[in-house]
Amino acid sequence: MDMNRWPPRPWEATTPRRAFAIFTAITGYVASALVGIGLSTALAGVAASVIVGAAFLGVSMLLTPRPPVMKTPQAQAVVNQSTGARLRGYGYALLGGTRAFFDSKDGFLYQVIMMHSGWIDFIEHFRVGDQQVTLNGDGDVTAPDVFVSDNTGNPYIRIRAHTGSPNQPADAMMMDAWPGVWTSAHRLRGIAYLATRFRSPRSDNASIVYPESYNTPVRALCRLSRIWDPRNGNTVWSDNPALCILDYLTHPDGFKKTRDDIDLNSFAIFANLCDEAVPLAAGGTEKRYRLWGVYSLNDEPEDILRKMRATCDAELYQNAQGKIAIRGGKWEAPTVTITDRDILGHSMEQGNNRFAAFNELKIMYTSPLHDFQTMEATAWIDTADQDERGPIPSDLDLDFVPSPSQARRLAKIHISKSNPRWKGRVKTNLLGLNALGERTIALEISELEIDEAFYVAGFSIASDLTSVEIEVMTISEAAYQWNPASEEGQNPAIPQDTTPDLSYPVPEGLELSVDDDGIITATVDDPARSGLALQVQIRAGAGSTWQEMDVQDDNVSAVFGPVADGTYEVRARWTGALNAAGEWAFPYVTITVPVPPPPGP
Angle at 207 between CA 215 and CA 494, to 5 degrees: 80
Res 13 pLDDT > 70? no
pLDDT of the residue at 208: 75
270-299: average pLDDT: 96
Amino acid identity at 356: A
Hey, is 115 helix, strand or coil?
A: strand
Lowest mean pLDDT among 105-109, 198-202, 436-440, 507-511: 198-202
User: Between 261 and 598, where is the model more confident?
Assistant: 261
158, β-bridge pairs: 140, 197
Lowest mean pLDDT among 38-42, 202-206, 297-301, 449-453: 38-42
- Please, which pLDDT band fits residue 502 given cuts at 50, 70 and 90? low
- Residues 314-334 pLDDT 10s: 999 888 888 999 999 999 999
Res 179 pLDDT > 50? yes
CA distances from 53 to 9, 30, 223, 431, 436 (A): 10, 13, 37, 17, 9
Whole-structure pTM value: 0.78
- Residues 402-456 pLDDT 10s: 999 999 999 999 988 888 889 999 999 999 999 888 899 999 999 999 999 999 9
Judge whether 373 and 366 are in contact, CB under 8 Å: yes
Amino acid identity at 578: L
- Please, which pLDDT band fits residue 63 given cuts at 50, 70 and 90? very low
Q: Mean pLDDT score of the chain, rounded to an integer? A: 84
Find all residues with CB under 8 Å of 94, minimum gap 6, and list them.
Answer: 75, 76, 127, 219, 220, 221, 222, 371, 372
pLDDT of the residue at 12: 45
pLDDT of the residue at 450: 93
Distance, in Å, from the CA atom of 228 to the CA atom of 245, rounded to the nearest integer, reads 11
Name the region of 482 (left: φ>0; alpha: ψ -120 to 50; beta: rest).
Answer: beta
Res 398 pLDDT > 90? yes
User: Between 558 and 67, where is the model more confident?
Assistant: 558
444-471: average pLDDT: 91
CA distances from 539 to 202, 276, 506, 563, 571 (A): 20, 70, 20, 11, 9
- Residues 221-234 pLDDT 10s: 999 999 999 999 99
Nearest to 290 by CA among 254, 347, 243, 229: 243
Which domains, and CATH codes, for the chain? Answer: 1-56 (no CATH), 97-216 (no CATH), 511-593 (2.60.40.10)
575, β-bridge pairs: 533, 581
The CB density around residue 185, as the number of other CB atoms within 10 Å, is 6
Hey, is 241 helix, strand or coil?
A: helix
pLDDT of the residue at 421: 86
Judge whether 96 and 128 are in contact, CB under 8 Å: no
The string of DSSP letters for 311-355 reads TTTEEEEE-TTS-EEEEESS----S-EE-GGGEEEEEEEE--SS-
Nearest to 379 by CA among 502, 487, 228: 487
Angle at 124 between CA 123 and CA 125, to 5 degrees: 100
Percent pLDDT > 90 in the chain is 61
pLDDT of the residue at 201: 79
